[in-house]
Amino acid sequence: MATLERFCRYASINTQSDEEAKAYPSTPTQTEFNRLLQKELIEVGFQDVTLDEYGILTATVPATCEGVPVIAWLAHVDTSPEVSAVNIKPQVIANYQGQIITLPGDPAKKLDPEEFPELKTVIGHTLITTDGTTLLGSDCKSGLTAIVEAGEYLLKHPEIPHGEIRLCFSVDEEIGAGTLHLNPERIKADVAYTLDGGATGMIDCETFSADMATVTIEGVNTHPAHGKGHMVNALRIGADFVARMPKTTLTPETSDDRLGFLHPYSFEGSVAHTEIKIILRDFETAALGEYAQLLESIAQVLRAENPKATIKVEIKRQYRNMREGLAKDPRALEYAKEAMQSLGVEPKFTIIRGGTDGSGLTEMGLPTPNLSSGQHNIHSYYEWTSVEEMEETKDLLLAIAKVWAERSRA
């Protein structure tokens, strides 16, 4: 089974990104993966297969008819740095029947349909899980697999009418840098689709807007035996900073749907120097400014209480909600909806409590909604995907190409 073999081959290669690295891409394994993929795409017959100096890979499926706008399919090759990606061992469950799945690398970890109810929707599917000691990398190698499968199918069936299709495999998306060296001029398309979503039938038309705050605290270190009146403990001030942040609202633990949050996710340091990283997320971009002001107000209070300390709050812009950009070319969503309906699937226009490369590209002028690709429990030991959902994604991409051709020539 080509889809199963291809996904497991891609997933078994560690392409984890690294937020602390100074290089781009942040890990050399991403470029190495795309170099292997470049060779594969050339052998299959894709054209204009190009790996640039940033590790980004692009390729082309030539048009079989004229007068059709160029569309692009995108996936990122890096996996999340949140969970180990060393020695990934995909576990295959054929003809899944709703049972609890034990993860063999750590039998204490189990995929229980009562805890993970999406498993109940894939009875009869071939599932691929982790072994419980790593993530799987379905985010975004499920989408990557579907893209290559769909592109290869079109190359083998030139009788199918479609416009030019551009493929793009980006790097460092998981650390918010996927479009740092990627822009519409590089992709050369009129509209694009990222394949970075969950279960079949979803079209993500909104993402969070996102910023990141770095709180830096400089204290004064002395020998603790002589600390009275001299020591200023940056660790204690940092702990106090986090303690003064909202606890019952504006947290990932207490928010869902359209509610935003502030999320401290990294706390490192010493008595002399402590650094806290906090992500700011909301569907309304203006709210990010309010969240930044809240953090600054906490810092102001702590500066007054700790006059010998230096406390800085720096905000880094990340990505923005794609909603406004998609409204500029409604065809991107309209044709995806029509394609999905042609396959007998009623689409759900959904919001994604995160971001994709499509967020940045849409803001730069390339409308790029996000489509389902069979990702479940991403960034965790409990990650899994479905072969059938990846194949449904492949079929959706082919249907989208068909709709763009038909509507453009009508």
DSSP 232-289: B-HHHHHHHHHHTS-SSSSSTTT--TT--EEEEEEEEE-SSEEEEEEEEEESSHHHHH
Domain-ending residue, one of 269, 291, 319: 319
Judgement on whether residues 151 and 71 belong to the same structural domain of the protein:
yes
For the question of residue 78 being annotated catalytic, the response is yes
Domain count, the chain: 2
pLDDT for residue 208: 94
User: What is the pLDDT at residue 355?
Assistant: 85
Based on the residue annotation, tell me whether 173 is a catalytic residue of this protein.
yes
Q: Are residues 94 and 194 in the same domain?
A: yes
Q: Do 160 and 18 share a structural domain?
A: yes
- The answer on 217 and 114 residing in a single domain is no
Does residue 20 sit in the same domain as residue 113? Answer: yes
Are 194 and 228 in the same domain?
no
Q: Which of 284, 304, 319 is the last residue of a domain?
A: 319
Q: Give the pLDDT of residue 251.
A: 97
Question: Residue 75 sits in which domain range?
Answer: 2-207+321-409
- Pairing verdict, β 261-269 and 91-93: unpaired
Asked if 312 and 247 sit in the same domain, the reply is yes
CA dihedral sign of residues 165, 170, 174, 175? negative
Q: What is the pLDDT of residue 74?
A: 98
Distances (CA, A) of 277 to 46, 241, 257, 267, 358: 42, 12, 24, 7, 24
Whether residues 313 and 325 fall in one domain? no
Last residue of a domain, one of 319, 334, 360: 319
**Residue 120, exposed/middle/buried by CB under 10 A (0-12, 13-18, 19+)?**
exposed
Residues of the chain with pLDDT under 70: 1, 410
What pLDDT does residue 311 have?
Answer: 98
Q: Distance (Å, rounded) from C-alpha 120 to C-alpha 125?
A: 10
Q: List the catalytic residue out of 173, 174, 357, 389.
A: 173
pLDDT for 1 equals 57
CATH number of the domain enclosing 195 = 3.40.630.10
Shared-domain flag, residues 352 and 238: no
298 in the same domain as 330: no
Question: Do residues 384 and 111 make contact, with C-beta atoms less than 8 angstroms apart?
Answer: yes
* Structure confidence at residue 409 (pLDDT): 79
Q: Per residue in 17-38, pLDDT tens?
A: 998 899 999 999 999 999 999 9
CATH number at residue 315: 3.30.70.360
Q: Are residues 194 and 213 in the same domain?
A: no
pLDDT the model gives residue 377: 97
Please tell me whether residues 151 and 185 are part of one structural domain. yes
Query: How many Å apart are CA 203 and CA 372, to the nearest integer?
Result: 7
